[in-house]
Amino acid sequence: MQSDQTYMARALALAARGCGWASPNPMVGCVIVRHDVILGEGWHERAGGPHAEVNAYRACGEADTSAATVYVTLEPCAHTGRTPPCVDLLLERRPARVVTAMADPNPHVAGGGIERLRAAGIRVDVGILEAEALRLNEVFVKNMRTGLPWVTAKCAMTLDGKIATRSGHSKWITGETARALTHRMRHVHDAILVGSRTVMLDNPSLTTRLPEGNGRHPIRVILDAGDYLTGDRAVFAEDRESPTWVATTEGNAYPFADDTLFLPPGPGGVDMRALLHTLAERGVTSLLIEGGGATLAAAFSAGIVDKACFFCAPKIIGGHEAVTPVEGLGCERMDEAILLQDLRPLTAGEDVLMEAYVRKAAETESER
């Protein structure tokens, strides 16, 4: 007999298929089992589309789902949004048991679905592979608890911590596998942030290119407090595939941008926390910061970074004038260093991706 963990692991794998496409909704997977046989499975494929439970029951066809066990990675919703509550479907189908990995992190609705199911006499077990479910939906969890976007800081550097030579040359530090993973990161984030110096020197398109050819292009946000940008860059091309916004201070004009975000001044040019709140107001749930060094320094200094994803290539550039991934003044003492936790090194071809979470005080709703 298969265990609850086995079926929940399958549900989590299904949920991950909605990565990027489900935003701003959570990724959810569902597996329906009766007598140790999977009758149907599904996941939330796209925001506004059917939820995982609906797709899983549809996949069951004419199979007898009475007395089944429903494994779902997130507490079934009990409120009406763009789709009806999933709890209503479960109450109609009457499974013997519902197993969920985690409760809904939305403080306004958490536990509501579980309570309704239990009140109807359906057994509900919560917490199977909860840590894995929380990690999968870390973006959604932060959105619900703080109202702010999840922030990932990404860079590609050499073994001696350089992102470009002393002349500014940087193509390419990492190999094809690492660069492909970068496009995956763009696909799963709502917006991407770079500084104006990066745009002017490297002229990146900041789009998503996946092998299957259907990646989601993030909103491009360009940080420019010095009126440094010109309209001849790729991010401002007339046939651009996603909007380009410029984050700046009052007094600068960018007629070639899709929108201009006027923000208070701050270290690195603009107030980074104000930028985060402005993006949240515009529906952005996740932000990928790709550099350059001044932009990453401003983000880390402001304490807005949740996760660091640093690619490290087996190369040495050397030189005190070569560009570092995090610029600014830096720390005077080691006890002032930004601390990371849960470090995970992942092989990416010849390179290594180091993922870690920034250790910081928990954000609360009062920070909105």
Q: Give the model's pLDDT for residue 37.
A: 94
Residue 151's closest CA among 258, 273, 327, 260?
273
Give the residue-averaged pLDDT of 23-35. Answer: 96
Q: C-alpha angle 318/151/126, rounded to 5°?
A: 130
Give the residue-averaged pLDDT of 158-173. Answer: 90
Give the residue-averaged pLDDT of 7-14. Answer: 98
Buried b (16+ CB within 10 A) or exposed e, 337-357: eeebeeeeeeebbebbbbbbb
Residue 203: how many CB atoms within 10 A of its CB? Answer: 11
Query: Residue 75: is its pLDDT beyond 90?
Result: yes
Query: Residue 368: is its pLDDT beyond 60?
Result: no
Which strand (E) or helix (H) includes residue 298? helix 293-302
Query: Residue 364: is its pLDDT beyond 60?
Result: no
Q: What is the DSSP code (8-state) at residue 266?
A: E
User: What is the band of 1 on the pLDDT scale with cuts at 50, 70, 90?
Assistant: low
Query: Residue 367: is its pLDDT beyond 50?
Result: no
User: What is the band of 238 on the pLDDT scale with cuts at 50, 70, 90?
Assistant: confident
CB 146 within 8 A of CB 364: yes
Tens of pLDDT, residue by residue over 259-287, are 999 999 998 789 999 999 999 999 999 99
Catalytic residues: 53
pTM: 0.91
User: What is the band of 361 on the pLDDT scale with cuts at 50, 70, 90?
Assistant: low
User: What is the band of 215 on the pLDDT scale with cuts at 50, 70, 90?
Assistant: confident
Give the residue-averaged pLDDT of 174-190. Answer: 95
User: What is the band of 79 on the pLDDT scale with cuts at 50, 70, 90?
Assistant: confident
Query: Residue 362: is its pLDDT beyond 60?
Result: no
Which strand (E) or helix (H) includes residue 362? none
CB 257 within 8 A of CB 244: yes
Query: Residue 183: is its pLDDT beyond 70?
Result: yes
Domains of the chain: which residue ranges? 4-141, 147-367
Give the C-alpha separation, 106 to 312, whole Å.
36
- Give backbone dihedrals phi and psi of 314, rounded to 5 degrees, phi first: -75, 65
CA of 185: how far to CAs of 181, 192, 312, in Å? 6, 10, 16
Give the residue-averaged pLDDT of 67-74. Answer: 96
CB 217 within 8 A of CB 208: yes
Give the C-alpha separation, 61 to 175, whole Å.
46
Give the C-alpha separation, 277 to 242, whole Å.
21
Tokens of 338: 């930004």
Q: Which residues pair with 319 in a beta bridge?
A: none
> What is the gyration radius of the CA atoms in the chain, in angstroms?
23
Amino acid at 355: E
Give the C-alpha separation, 284 to 263, whole Å.
16
Residue 133's closest CA among 51, 29, 22, 17?
29
Q: Give the model's pLDDT for residue 212.
A: 77
Collapsed DSSP state (helix, strand, coil) of residue 50: coil
- Assigned fold of 147-367: Dihydrofolate Reductase, subunit A (3.40.430)
144-153, 205-214, 304-313: least confident range = 205-214
CATH superfamily of 4-141: Cytidine Deaminase, domain 2 (3.40.140.10)
Q: Look over the chain and give the mean of its residue pLDDT values, rounded to a whole number.
A: 92
Give the residue-averaged pLDDT of 330-357. Answer: 94
